[in-house]
């Protein structure tokens, strides 16, 4: 078994910080491994082989954080030694150091998440990779760019991250969303037996709050529909995409953006939801065709004029189009006296609400895509006769006149 000792090397200059290093001994061979931590001679307790301080404030917090990091490093080195012993193979002190360096690089939060994000992209799960990337960017800002090892995550750190987001006005559901992703990353490391589970997420919220109702009643949808926006093409386009989402049974904007012309056949649009992979079939109506006819100069392979330059970072084009549309929808909201923030997602909620108001069974609309369980929605949609939903959609569109 390798022996690990914490050592301190004073600086050659007076009153300068010295270096903490680890002395690793195995089979009479000795290696020194620099820790990267520096403290003043007075902050080193030789008898206890640890850092100490009698100061207060920021310096004390700094020294205590170094003490905790040293403890974690020694724990990792000890764990590596035990793992190598358990393998039953001959190893050297250099193997211990190499394993530690690999561990320190691959199993930090930043690097581990970056590897997961890359794998998600390789597997075609682009949307999921983007949510992981957003979470990583948020956590990096909280850490001010300072990486941290996975096994150093504590409930105090996660509580601090939660509080940091609240102070910046992040809504509870978004905080919970980021936390759940970090928890999934942490659990993956536990499953891979990289770290032991210390339950750092036990004190933070990971549930889902009921969101403020974002549905518009049919009379308001009708007001939006009949607005004269002929002199404001950007507002007119935003209104058209909002209505198209509504007409298409609350289709999400990303699914609309990537609809292909070939998806429209025999009076039906067939597509797979990007989020779930669920195959949906929607009857094409005269209301949808009327909007499509307004944009005849669409030379791309996409059905709707959202991604205007195919092949040039299409996801970026789709996002930029969404930002512009949502910005213009807020101006439209003011025109019709809508108090809630009007976005494309409101169209999705509004279709569900309209379906419910028409007495359409919850099994048909699965609570109008405002579902509590994605699995339940998939079960309903998988077993449902699409003609039932198309009939429901026809009832709703007739109400708009």
What CATH number has the domain bearing residue 370?
1.10.443.10
45-57 average pLDDT score: 88
Q: Are residues 74 and 122 in the same domain?
A: no
Q: Are residues 178 and 233 in the same domain?
A: no
2-10 average pLDDT score: 93
Q: Which of 399, 13, 85, 58 is nearest to 225 (CA)?
A: 399
Is 292 part of any domain? yes
Measure Cα distances from 148 to 73, 88, 267 in Å: 12, 31, 55
Q: Are residues 257 and 381 in the same domain?
A: yes
Measured CA to CA, the distance from residue 101 to residue 106 in angstroms comes to: 9
> Which is higher by pLDDT, 126 or 17?
17
Q: Are residues 85 and 123 in the same domain?
A: no
Q: What is the residue-averaged pLDDT of the chain?
A: 86
Q: Are residues 369 and 303 in the same domain?
A: yes
203-215 average pLDDT score: 72
> Which is higher by pLDDT, 374 or 164?
164
Is 272 part of any domain? yes
189-218 average pLDDT score: 82
Which of 6-10, 280-284, 299-303 is predicted most confidently?
A: 6-10
> Which is higher by pLDDT, 387 or 161?
161
Measured CA to CA, the distance from residue 49 to residue 359 in angstroms comes to: 74
Q: Are residues 320 and 175 in the same domain?
A: no
Neighbours of 187 (CB within 10 A): 12
Q: Are residues 135 and 271 in the same domain?
A: no
User: Would you state the pLDDT for residue 211?
Assistant: 54
Residue that is last in its domain, among 150, 173, 191: 191
Q: State the residue range of the domain holding 129.
A: 109-191
- Backbone φ and ψ for 282, nearest 5 degrees, come out as -125, 130
Is 203 part of any domain? no
- Backbone φ and ψ for 339, nearest 5 degrees, come out as -85, -35
∠ CA 235-245-358, rounded to 5°? 120
Residues whose CB falls within 8 Å of the CB of residue 346, separated by 6 or more in sequence, listed in order? 214, 215, 216, 242, 329, 340
Does position 380 have pLDDT exceeding 60, yes or no?
no
Q: Are residues 247 and 178 in the same domain?
A: no
The one-character DSSP state at 25 is E
80-89 average pLDDT score: 87
Is 321 part of any domain? yes
Q: Are residues 245 and 296 in the same domain?
A: yes
User: Would you state the pLDDT for residue 386?
Assistant: 58
Q: Are residues 78 and 154 in the same domain?
A: no
User: Would you state the pLDDT for residue 379?
Assistant: 36
User: Would you state the pLDDT for residue 369?
Assistant: 52
Measured CA to CA, the distance from residue 338 to residue 225 in angstroms comes to: 14
Handedness of CA 206, 208, 209, 211 (dihedral sign): positive
- Backbone φ and ψ for 299, nearest 5 degrees, come out as -90, 0
> Which is higher by pLDDT, 196 or 212?
196
Which of 158-172, 346-360, 366-380 is predicted most confidently?
A: 158-172
Pairing of strands 264-265, 268-272: antiparallel
Rg (CA), the chain: 29
Q: Are residues 8 and 136 in the same domain?
A: no
Does position 376 have pLDDT exceeding 50, yes or no?
no
Is 196 part of any domain? no
pLDDT in tens, 213-262: 577 889 999 999 999 999 999 999 999 999 999 999 889 899 999 999 99
| % of the chain with per-residue pLDDT over 70 | 92
Q: Out of 249-253, 281-285, 288-292, 347-351, pick the least confident.
A: 347-351
Q: Are residues 267 and 331 in the same domain?
A: yes
Is 326 part of any domain? yes
Q: What would the two tokens of residue 346 be?
A: 């409101």
Is 21 part of any domain? yes
Is 251 part of any domain? yes
Number of folded domains that form the chain: 3
Question: Is 272:382 a contact under the CB 8 Å cutoff?
Answer: no
């Amino acid at each position: 078994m390798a022996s690990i000792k914490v050592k301190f090397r004073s600086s050659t200059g007076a009153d300068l910080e010295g270096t903490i290093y680890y002395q690793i001994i195995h089979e009479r061979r000795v290696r020194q491994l620099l820790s990267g931590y520096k403290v003043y001679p007075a902050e080193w307790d030789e008898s206890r082989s640890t850092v100490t301080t009698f100061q207060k404030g920021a310096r004390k917090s700094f020294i205590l954080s170094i003490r905790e990091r040293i403890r974690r490093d020694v724990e990792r080195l000890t764990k590596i030694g035990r793992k190598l012993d358990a393998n039953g193979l001959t190893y050297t002190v250099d193997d211990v150091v190499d394993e530690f360096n690999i561990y320190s690089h691959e199993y930090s939060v930043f690097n581990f998440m970056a590897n997961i994000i890359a794998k998600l992209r390789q597997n075609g799960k682009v949307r999921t990779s983007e949510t992981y990337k957003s979470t990583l960017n948020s956590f990096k800002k909280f850490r001010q760019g300072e990486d941290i090892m996975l096994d150093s995550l504590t409930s105090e750190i996660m509580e601090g991250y939660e509080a940091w987001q609240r102070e910046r006005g992040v809504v509870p559901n978004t905080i919970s969303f980021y936390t759940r992703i970090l928890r999934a990353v942490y659990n993956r490391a536990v499953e891979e037996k990289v770290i032991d589970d210390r339950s750092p997420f036990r004190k933070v919220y990971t549930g889902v709050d009921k969101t403020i109702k974002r549905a518009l009643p049919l009379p308001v949808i009708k007001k939006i529909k009949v607005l004269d926006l002929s002199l404001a093409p950007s507002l007119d386009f935003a209104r058209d995409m909002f209505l198209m989402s509504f007409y298409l049974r609350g289709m999400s904007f990303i699914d609309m953006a990537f609809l292909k012309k070939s998806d429209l056949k025999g009076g039906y649009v067939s597509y797979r939801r990007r989020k779930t992979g669920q195959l949906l079939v929607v009857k094409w109506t005269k209301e949808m065709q009327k909007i499509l006819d307004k944009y005849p100069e669409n030379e791309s392979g996409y059905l709707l004029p959202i991604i205007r330059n195919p092949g040039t970072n299409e996801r970026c084009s789709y996002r930029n189009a969404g930002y512009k549309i949502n910005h213009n929808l807020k101006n439209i909201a003011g025109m019709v006296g809508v108090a809630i923030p009007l976005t494309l997602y409101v169209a999705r909620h509004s279709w569900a609400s309209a379906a419910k108001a028409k007495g359409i069974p919850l099994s048909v609309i699965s609570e109008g895509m405002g579902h509590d369980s994605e699995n339940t929605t998939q079960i309903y949609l998988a077993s449902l006769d699409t003609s039932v939903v198309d009939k429901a959609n026809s009832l709703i569109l007739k109400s708009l006149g």
